[in-house]
């Protein structure tokens, strides 16, 4: 879990030493291995441009990022109802990361349970994500949603969500948007809400 640039630089130094050792031993290896970071803590997202100058890709870990942004242990039943990956604070940090990746020409992917919820896919695309990981069982539905969207309408949805005051408001925005589009995804949104003790729908 990277939290400072010094860790990235230390890793690159180790990688360079190992590469030199392999070369001296005439051991064949891939000399252009891409080096990236998981964006899982706020400090990395907030300084995404600095990281983007030194790495080859970003992967946003939404599970941990949400947990650390909201100071909520999702494994603790006493506070798990406060864990909402669509909270505007989480979405804004994701947007900062995505924009930094685009500015410096490095790919940005999403890794986390959020990518498996088809109801969230329009929002993720609207934020600018071009690569989303999902459990195999959800892939057909995710693909269907992606094919049915336009970038313009997804961006409009994301702009509304980013300006919302809290997760409840984002949920309402997303619910209204899904009801207005023939994607039949409300059950995916309801699945997410039912996993929380507090219903924000």
Q: Centre a 10 Å sphere on the Cβ of residue 25 and count the other Cβ atoms it contains.
A: 7
Which position has the higher pLDDT, 158 or 193? 158
CATH number of domain containing 173: 3.20.20.60
Give the pLDDT confidence of 106-155 residue by residue, as tens digits: 999 999 889 888 889 999 999 999 999 888 898 888 888 888 888 999 99
Query: Is residue 114 included in any domain, yes or no?
Result: yes
Mean pLDDT of all residues belonging to the chain: 89
Mean pLDDT comparison of 137-146, 160-169, 191-200, highest-scoring range: 160-169
Q: How sure is the predictor about 3, in pLDDT bands with cuts at 50, 70 and 90?
A: very high
Query: Is residue 199 included in any domain, yes or no?
Result: no
Give the pLDDT score at 135.
86
- Cα–chain-centroid distance for residue 43? 15
Which position has the higher pLDDT, 1 or 94? 94
Instruction: Pick the closest to residue 37 from 136, 88, 104, 128 (CA basis).
Output: 104
Query: Is residue 179 included in any domain, yes or no?
Result: yes
Query: Is residue 103 included in any domain, yes or no?
Result: yes
Give the pLDDT confidence of 29-78 residue by residue, as tens digits: 998 889 999 999 999 999 999 999 999 999 999 999 999 999 998 778 77
Give the pLDDT score at 71.
93
Q: How sure is the predictor about 192, in pLDDT bands with cuts at 50, 70 and 90?
A: low
Total domains in the fold of the chain: 1
Give the pLDDT score at 196.
46
Structure tokens given for 141: 């539905």
Query: Is residue 200 included in any domain, yes or no?
Result: no
Query: Running DSSP on this structure, what letter comes out for residue 33?
Result: -
CA–CA separation, 143 vs 81, rounded Å?
Answer: 29
Domain that holds residue 9: 5-194
Query: Is residue 201 included in any domain, yes or no?
Result: no
Sheet of 57-61, strands arranged across: 36-39, 57-61, 108-111, 131-132
- Cα–chain-centroid distance for residue 92? 11
Query: Is residue 190 included in any domain, yes or no?
Result: yes
R_g of the chain, CA atoms, integer Å: 19
End-to-end CA distance of the chain: 32
| Contact present, 110 and 90 (Cβ < 8 Å) | no
Query: Is residue 98 included in any domain, yes or no?
Result: yes
């Amino acid at each position: 879990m990277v939290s400072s640039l010094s860790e990235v630089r230390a890793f690159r130094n180790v990688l360079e030493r190992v590469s030199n050792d392999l070369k001296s031993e005439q051991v064949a290896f891939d000399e252009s291995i891409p080096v990236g970071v998981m964006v899982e803590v706020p400090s990395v997202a907030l300084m995404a441009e600095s990281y983007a100058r030194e790495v080859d890709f970003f992967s946003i870990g939404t599970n941990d990022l949400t947990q650390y942004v909201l100071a909520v242990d999702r494994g603790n039943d006493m506070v798990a109802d406060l864990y909402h990956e669509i909270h505007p604070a989480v979405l804004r940090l994701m947007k900062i990361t995505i924009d930094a990746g685009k500015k410096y020409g490095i790919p940005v992917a999403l890794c986390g349970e959020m990518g498996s919820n088809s109801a969230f896919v329009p929002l993720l695309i609207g934020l600018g994500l071009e690569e989303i990981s999902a459990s195999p069982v959800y892939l057909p539905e995710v693909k269907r949603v992606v094919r049915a969207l336009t970038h313009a309408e997804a961006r409009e949805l994301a702009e509304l969500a980013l300006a919302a005051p809290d997760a409840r408001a984002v949920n309402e925005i997303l619910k209204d948007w899904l009801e207005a589009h023939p994607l039949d995804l409300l059950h995916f949104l309801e699945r997410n809400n039912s996993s929380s003790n507090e219903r924000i729908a």
